[in-house]
Amino acid sequence: MAVLSFLLSGLLLCWAGVCAAIPDPRQREALMQQEASLQTGGRMALTEAERRLSAHLRKLKQQEMAGPQFPPAMHFFKARPLIQRSPIFSLLQRMPKGAVLHAHDFSLVGVDWLVKNVTYRPHCYVCFTQRQSVRFRFSAQKPLPQPQCSPWLLLETLRGKTDNITDLDNSLIHNLTLFTADPEAAYPNQDAVWSRFEETFLAALGLVTYTPVFKDYFYQGLQELYKDNVMYLELRALLPETYELDGSTHDMAWTLKAYQDVARQFISQHPDFLGARIIFTVHRGLNVSEVKKAVEGAMRLQKMFPEIMAGFDLVGREDSGRSLWYFREALSLPAELGVTLPYFFHAGETDWEGTEVDQNLLDALLFNTTRIGHGFALTHHPLAKELSRKRGVAVEVCPISNQVLKLVSDLRNHPAGVLMSEGHPLVVSSDDPATFGASGLSYDFYEAFVGIGGMSAHLGTLKELAINSIRYSSLSPQLKDKALALWQRKWDKFISENSP
Ligand SMILES: *[C@@H]1O[C@H](CO)[C@@H](O)[C@H](O)[C@H]1NC(C)=O
Ligand SMILES: *[C@@H]1O[C@H](CO)[C@@H](O)[C@H](O)[C@H]1NC(C)=O
Ligand SMILES: *[C@@H]1O[C@H](CO)[C@@H](O)[C@H](O)[C@H]1NC(C)=O
Ligand SMILES: *[C@@H]1O[C@H](CO)[C@@H](O)[C@H](O)[C@H]1NC(C)=O
Ligand SMILES: *[C@@H]1O[C@H](CO)[C@@H](O)[C@H](O)[C@H]1NC(C)=O
Ligand SMILES: [Zn+2]
């Protein structure tokens, strides 16, 4: 006689005094489905064609996992050629991904373009620093000497005297990116990689802030995003002074207006692109009074350019910079004056649990941040995590950045895996694609979809991530509706062209 007995709503089957403790498969199935419904995209309704494409993606993912090398487990610099050959990657490139909400002004355009196009323009001078780096400056006459740098050389003259120009150009390219064949040897720790990271920025600075280049650079950056099926950008920008050939300079307002003009021009030539908004950033190495001035500047700019200006943030390495709490007097200024200045703080881009810097996450929320840049440490902070979820403060997850800057090595271990499995508000972004040898958004989508999300992530996940990038943008409700409608048309076309 079989005796049935319910154990924790599972079944305990007994036969002739021997009990099989196998839990009820139906119960198991129900629990698995319930858990799956919690993840990002877990409740997304899929059409028949979408379900077919999702099943196809699942098969491709299984093949990728069965291969001898699994790209998300490898350093991106080594994984890149494998990713480029991946059929999942090529689908992600074609997929309308919505918006890039976390990227920086000096890393939008592939560095090849800077060397092959920009450094070949007339009047480009170069000098060599003591730390094996380069600086550039366009000038009608030889520029004034730069401290800690060799005398300026006209690049055209240098090229004329060089036997192998390809080698020279490759070394310049190398100066502008972290990309290298053996990243583990080149960057043994976070200090080493951050130090080179800052050098790449200084090398690009003199090229990008030359007035005519500045506009071309931004246009080219939008072009790269557009080609990768991204339709909108929120750019963190330092709004540096730009300079002319005669050494005269333009101020911050000029720079912001230049972004606005270029974005408008780009939209007029690409009506299915929605443009860009700017998050004004300053370096977290500044002191309180300097940041106070910057916040005042941000409020002024917001009044002058409400269309393009989205808000304010602090940039630079969190571990070595100052904390948000240190800046509290500056950051509370807008609220005290009754002015709304949205914040988009980088916070929790650290491995150092429980330090002053780690506190930035909670402080970002206390200062009413609109989104959280990185939030890498968020899973260590249950209260901050709950606040972020309740208030719909999305986390901007930048997988490749976190790996290259050595917060995590195998992307299957990225903490956003926890956030994705809980359906936490999040978007995927690229941070500094050119510096990392990436471009557009597809590489980061690949790492998030294949590595961080693993087998759980499906087409519904991708769909929700793309929709999130519009939902959590700084666009007005009307523009969000317009963006979503436009995205949906692109999505439907993508599905009909790619569903098996
Ligand atoms: C320049 O050097 C590269 C190797 O670094 C070589 O492949 C190429 O042929 C050289 N070009 C010339 C013109 O010598
Ligand atoms: C930068 O370029 C210079 C000049 O070509 C070269 O000597 C140096 O090795 C390069 N530095 C890096 C980090 O690539
Ligand atoms: C450099 O880029 C500009 C556009 O940004 C383009 O008009 C020009 O033809 C390019 N020059 C070269 C040499 O590629
Ligand atoms: C902040 O920095 C500025 C410029 O470097 C300096 O003049 C000022 O004294 C500093 N203020 C404080 C409070 O340290
Ligand atoms: C944050 O928002 C709350 C509620 O709207 C408001 O009372 C507070 O002043 C804001 N704080 C800052 C620093 O903006
Ligand atoms: Zn960033």
pLDDT tens digits, one per residue of 205-241: 999 999 999 999 999 999 999 999 999 999 999 999 9
Same domain, 168 and 306: no
CB atoms within 10 A of CB 120: 12
359-374: burial string, b at 16+ Cβ within 10 Å, e else: bbbbbbbbbbbbbbbb
Q: What are phi and psi of 101, to 5 degrees?
A: -105, -5
- Residue 414 included in any domain: yes
Domain that holds residue 122: 112-195
Q: Is any atom of ligand 3 closer than 6 Å to the C-beta of 216?
A: yes
Answer with the one of 142, 168, 195 that is the final residue of a domain: 195
pLDDT digits (tens, 9 = 90+) for 435-491: 999 999 999 999 999 999 999 999 999 999 999 999 999 999 999 999 999 999 999
Tokens of 483: 């963006």
Same domain, 467 and 482: yes
Same domain, 295 and 408: yes
Q: Which has the higher per-residue pLDDT, 12 or 296?
A: 296
Pocket test for ligand 1, best of 163, 164, 171 (most atoms within 8 A of CB): 164
Q: Taking 80 as the threshold, does the pLDDT of residue 299 lie above it?
A: yes
- Residue 104 included in any domain: yes
pTM value is: 0.95
Helix (H) or strand (E) holding 206: helix 190-208
Annotated active-site residue 356? The verdict is: no
pLDDT tier at 355 (50, 70, 90 boundaries)?
Answer: confident
Tell me how far CA of residue 116 lies from CA of 111, 113, 169, 173, 343, in angstroms.
Answer: 9, 5, 8, 9, 37
pLDDT at 397: 98
Helix (H) or strand (E) holding 314: strand 309-315
Query: Of all atoms in ligand 5, which is nearest to the CA of residue 335?
Result: 14
Q: Is any atom of ligand 3 closer than 6 Å to the C-beta of 220?
A: yes
| Cβ–Cβ < 8 Å for 401, 373 | no
Cα dihedral sign, 163-165-166-169:
positive
The residue whose C-alpha atom lies closest to atom 8 belonging to ligand 5 is 335
Q: Is any atom of ligand 3 closer than 6 Å to the C-beta of 117?
A: yes
CB atoms within 10 A of CB 30: 12
Mean pLDDT, the chain, as a whole number?
Answer: 95
**Quick one: which of 201, 187, 205, 199 has its CA closest to 131?**
199
Query: Of all atoms in ligand 5, which is nearest to the CA of residue 343?
Result: 14
Alpha-carbon torsion angle 158, 160, 163, 168, nearest 10: 40
Q: Taking 50 as the threshold, does the pLDDT of residue 10 lie above it?
A: no
Q: What are phi and psi of 434, to 5 degrees?
A: -65, -40
Q: Crossing angle, helix 459-471 and helix 48-66, to 10 degrees?
A: 110
Query: Of all atoms in ligand 4, which is nearest to the CA of residue 288?
Result: 13
| Cβ–Cβ < 8 Å for 498, 54 | no
Same domain, 133 and 262: no
pLDDT tier at 356 (50, 70, 90 boundaries)?
Answer: confident
124-128/134-138 β-pairing: antiparallel
User: Considering 224, 234, 318, 349, which one is annotated as catalytic?
Assistant: 349
CATH of the domain at 401: 3.20.20.140
Same domain, 145 and 268: no
Same domain, 365 and 493: yes
Indicate the length of the chain as a whole number.
Answer: 500
pLDDT at 412: 98
Distance CA 453, CA 354 (A): 27
CA 397 to chain centre: 7
Answer with the one of 132, 165, 195 that is the final residue of a domain: 195
The residue whose C-alpha atom lies closest to atom 10 belonging to ligand 3 is 117
pLDDT at 357: 86
Question: For the chain, what is the largest distance between any 2 Cα atoms, rounded to a whole number of angstroms?
Answer: 101
| Domains contained in the chain, number | 2
**Residue written as tokens 């000029």?**
254
- Residue 45 included in any domain: no
pLDDT digits (tens, 9 = 90+) for 117-165: 999 999 999 999 999 999 999 999 999 999 999 999 999 999 999 999 9
- Residue 369 included in any domain: yes
- Residue 22 included in any domain: no
pLDDT tier at 245 (50, 70, 90 boundaries)?
Answer: very high
Tokens of 136: 């550039």
- Residue 37 included in any domain: no
Same domain, 221 and 117: no
Pocket test for ligand 3, best of 119, 210, 216 (most atoms within 8 A of CB): 216
- Residue 26 included in any domain: no
Q: Is any atom of ligand 3 closer than 6 Å to the C-beta of 368?
A: no
276-283/309-315 β-pairing: parallel
Rg of the chain over all Cα atoms, to the nearest angstrom: 25
Same domain, 100 and 163: no
Answer with the one of 195, 227, 262 that is the final residue of a domain: 195
Tokens of 87: 């059929």
Query: Of all atoms in ligand 3, which is nearest to the CA of residue 219?
Result: 5
Same domain, 190 and 223: no
Same domain, 105 and 116: no
Annotated active-site residue 102? The verdict is: no
Same domain, 426 and 467: yes
Pocket test for ligand 2, best of 111, 126, 133, 201 (most atoms within 8 A of CB): 133
DSSP 3-state of 312: strand
Same domain, 98 and 225: yes
Tokens of 155: 């690049």
The residue whose C-alpha atom lies closest to atom 3 belonging to ligand 1 is 167
- Residue 33 included in any domain: no
pLDDT digits (tens, 9 = 90+) for 367-422: 999 999 999 999 999 999 999 999 999 999 999 999 999 999 999 999 999 999 99
Strand-pairing partners, residue 153, are: 126
CA of 117 to the centre of ligand 3 (A): 6
Tell me how far CA of residue 65 lies from CA of 87, 95, 368, 402, in angstroms.
Answer: 13, 22, 41, 22
Distance CA 325, CA 429 (A): 26
Average pLDDT over residues 4-16: 51
Alpha-carbon torsion angle 199, 275, 44, 67, nearest 10: -40
The residue whose C-alpha atom lies closest to atom 7 belonging to ligand 5 is 335
